[in-house]
Structure 1
């Protein structure tokens, strides 16, 4: 087995001479074999090797003895031992997690701290080929993306260094034989036999059946994962170009938005890959809770003839469509607070979004008229002006139309995003007649041929900080 692991390590360039290596050790056969392997190569590679071990406090005295066993073996093999105990049950209750999630968070928190304190280059984990096969089959059964079929990564960045998994290329059987050949007597965790846990169920019930049909299942799934990984790396490179060209990524808080037509102009393979890159950005590479169902919902949003729609996704993520734009963001959008204020001549009113409305009296002819300016005969308006948000039943009329139209329908016609409508400024005079739906429609009935004085209202967009 050592020769196979040596070749695997070299193939994926897992180590460099004179590095500091932390080996995660539980006391079971996988991690004990891994620790022994590093014991055999540390002189050749001039490595500084330490064992890091966590008692999760889940099995009472048994888990305490596991920690003591690892410490004893480290003393025997002249390897530094760093151990700790964590309270998984309390943590999972506080954060509403399941046992495995809580244990993993606390375990990796300890590993990260030790990596930083030791300035370590590598954290070695004992996952093996059968773990990889179990992971891929589990994801297939639950539903996953092609990226999910890459399985457990051989290496990944972690705490200023990287995680490596030297045993991913060998089987559980090979590890057990290695322990026997080197007279290693690992501790056995009885909970590993409990099939109420999903992974144990697949390990003890599903994988043996599949291996009866194909004894080389582990090897074949490993090769499949590597082929998919290579394909994914290429697609990721191309998809990143799509994100750079047409997708807006925001920080604090994280959100993503893009134009639907521009996004759909790319091949479907790049659209799909871009979707998963977006999830990786939003979830910091930890988007395991997503499945084909969410992917289907996303592409339904792209293709369905809808103007406004929302979906709630795992972890508080919200998917929102407003006409030709899709936005993904965390948390509930706060409902705008209605406002109403007077606007006197010469005053300026600041709107909630930082934009401003100002009113003044001007004289002359051929005054500027644009979407940000409203001008009318002052004698036709009863002051002071009122700035407010829309109300149920609001209607207005404008030049060239007969009758009136609901403000609600104007918003729909103008494709104003739904979340902006309740804060959109409406300007009326004291009689309640709508003069201006700012930036969209200007009322009529306030003009004369040669007025001496004009009322001019000006809208200014928010000023950017410099």
Structure 2
């Protein structure tokens, strides 16, 4: 009998301690009515302290009557009753099912926090499980989603528990009939305008005509999917932890490690990352974007960048890649003239000063900035131009006058694209590039010319940790 199986399940799983408060979601339908009755008739050694939560969605004429019915049952049983009336439901025009669900579970969480309850019990059953698996299959869910609903999951202060998942809907109807339980049938459950109702009343009945054992077959598949998921987690977790780093600023991926993994391992590492990004940052990455990221990480092209959703971007620079949330901005092609014994603030985090070697004076307010010095000689009246790199810029490499395009230098030295954009070119009055800050001095900048004054170019900056 159902009640015997239920008691055995409660005893084995020990979801709660005897007398512990649990919150039970009761809608007045047959499922939650049976759950409430089963809980109320548990032996004292297994019975929790029952508290009921109900949401009146105000979407049907009978909803107020149903709410009053649940309240009266609770009063009769001397069970605490919490009720919420959703007055805004009629104004929802899209995805009504999800909106109503969000309201319900938000209310349940509030009650749990208010009353110090760690267990929420819902009346999902085997038929709900089958519908969920099929809905997710049709919706293109990933492996983890195809497993369907778990018997327990983290929720609010503790856990959401689905103790009726092993039982068919027909088992619940039979129990309600045998115990002469009163309940309401939600007439909206027959409307095929809702996707789940179409699955329940149209698609699944047709599939059962093809295979009367559909439920058993899908539940057997679910067990195999669960086993496969465990294997994937055991294999992928160590690889994920060594190649992926999440921080408050986003994600860093060690591309040199990632590309050594098999294609299947790469797929599941990124699948796990996508789940983490959704949970931690609320970022949604679809399958196509995940495939783009995987291709970019194993591509021979060392520099790749493309936008994700919102203000998130994926960037790969040689052997490191990142997913970061950035405000879209273009680096300004600004330029600054720097004269002898003067300083100039070129950005909020950078400052240049040009001084005779023994007369360096730095701003006190920048004492916490890091410092780089460049020694060189210039003529008495010479001044420097500080600007961003431009196409065609070249830098002298040695005393033979060999030079290289700065763009080529960036590639050869594997300097990330974002650092290239934030570098500075120091140009003398003749238009010769003498320094590429902070990466390289031109050979011209370090020649010893005794007839000219020795100077220091001081670069102060705040390092981006």
Q: The TM-score by the shorter chain falls in which range?
A: 0.7 to 0.9
1:182 corresponds, among 179, 185, 188, to: 179
Contact 2:143 2:225 in 1 (8 A): yes
- CA distance in 2: counterparts of 1:357 and 1:230, whole angstroms: 61
Aligned match for 2:107, one of 104, 107, 110: 110
Q: By how many angstroms is 1:313 displaced?
A: 4.5
User: Deviation string for 1:393-420 (max 9, x for gaps)?
Assistant: 4522313587976544544444443344
Structure 1 distance, partners of 2:67, 2:407, is: 67
For the residue of structure 2 that corresponds to 1:283, the secondary structure is helix
Q: Give the Cα–Cα distance (whole angstroms) in 2 for the partners of residues 405 and 356 of structure 1.
A: 27
In the alignment, does 2:47 pair up with 1:40? Answer: no
Query: Following superposition of structure 1 onto structure 2, how do residues 42-81 of structure 1 map, counting pairs within 5 Å?
Result: 43-59=44-60, 61-81=61-81
* Distance verdict in 2 for CA 1:399–1:102, change over 3 Å: same
What CA RMSD, in Å, does the superposition of the two structures yield over aligned residues? 3.4
1:323 alignment partner in structure 2:
318
Q: Deviations over 1:210-241 (max 9, x none)?
A: 22233332233234323333442343244332
The corresponding residue for 2:299 is: 304
Q: Secondary structure at the match of 1:26?
A: coil
Is the CA contact 1:91–1:102 (under 8 Å) kept in the aligned structure 2? no
Tell me what 2:276 maps to: 281
| Separation (CA, whole Å) in 2 of partners of 1:342 and 1:91 | 61
Q: Per-residue deviation at 1:457?
A: 2.8
**What is the match of residue 367 of structure 1?**
none
Which residue is 1:437 aligned to?
436
Match in the other structure for 2:368: none
- The change in CA–CA distance for 1:344 and 1:26 in structure 2 (over 3 A counts) is farther
Q: Is the 8 A contact 1:387 1:427 kept in 2?
A: yes
What's the CA shift string for 1:168-204, capped at 9, x where partnerless? Answer: 1111221222222222232222222222222222111
Partners of 2:172 and 2:282 in 1: how far apart?
31
Match of 1:457 in 2: 457
Structure 2: how far apart are the matches of 1:140 and 1:13?
A: 32
**Partners of 1:280 and 1:287 within 8 A in 2:** no
What residue ranges of structure 2 are gaps of 5+ in the alignment?
359-370
Q: 1:66-90: CA deviations, max 9, x gaps? A: 2222212222333221101124448
State the alpha-carbon separation in 2 of the partners of residues 418 and 190 from structure 1. Answer: 60
TM superposition score normalised by structure 2: 0.84
Shift of 1:118: 1.0
How many angstroms apart in 2 are the aligned matches of 1:101 and 1:381? 72
Q: Is the 8 A contact 2:135 2:199 kept in 1?
A: yes
> Which residue does 1:163 correspond to in 2?
160
Q: Name the residue aligned to 1:368.
A: none
Aligned equivalents of 1:10, 1:347: Cα separation in 2: 81
Contact 2:270 2:294 in 1 (8 A): no
For 2:310 and 2:50, the matched residues in 1 are separated by: 38
> 2:352 aligned with 1:361, yes or no?
no
- Corresponding residue number in structure 2 for 1:425: 424
Match of 2:394 in 1: 396
Contact 1:134 1:202 in 2 (8 A): yes
1:282 alignment partner, SS class: helix
Does residue 1:258 correspond to 2:259, yes or no?
no
- The range that moved more, 259-268 or 77-86, is 259-268
Structure 1 pair 238–58 and aligned structure 2 pair: CA distance change class (3 A): same
- CA drift of 1:294 comes to 4.2
What pairs up with 1:193-212 in 2 under 5 angstroms? 193-212=190-209
Instruction: Give the direction of change, closer, same or farther, for the CA distance of 1:27–1:318 in structure 2 (3 Å limit).
Output: farther
Please report how far the alpha carbon of residue 92 of structure 1 lies from its aligned counterpart in structure 2 after TM superposition.
5.3
Instruction: Report if the CA contact (8 A) 2:11-2:46 is conserved.
Output: no
For residues 209 and 289 of structure 1, the distance between their equivalents in structure 2, rounded to whole angstroms, comes to: 34
Shift of 1:49: 0.5
Q: Distance in 2 between matches of 1:301 and 1:37?
A: 55
Verify: 1:272 aligned to 2:264, yes or no.
no
Q: TM-score, normalised by structure 1?
A: 0.83
Residue correspondences, number: 450
The answer for unaligned runs of 5 or more in structure 1 is 364-370
Q: Specify the alignment match of 1:224 in structure 2.
A: 221
**Is residue 395–residue 405 contact of structure 2 (8 Å, CA) maintained in 1?**
no
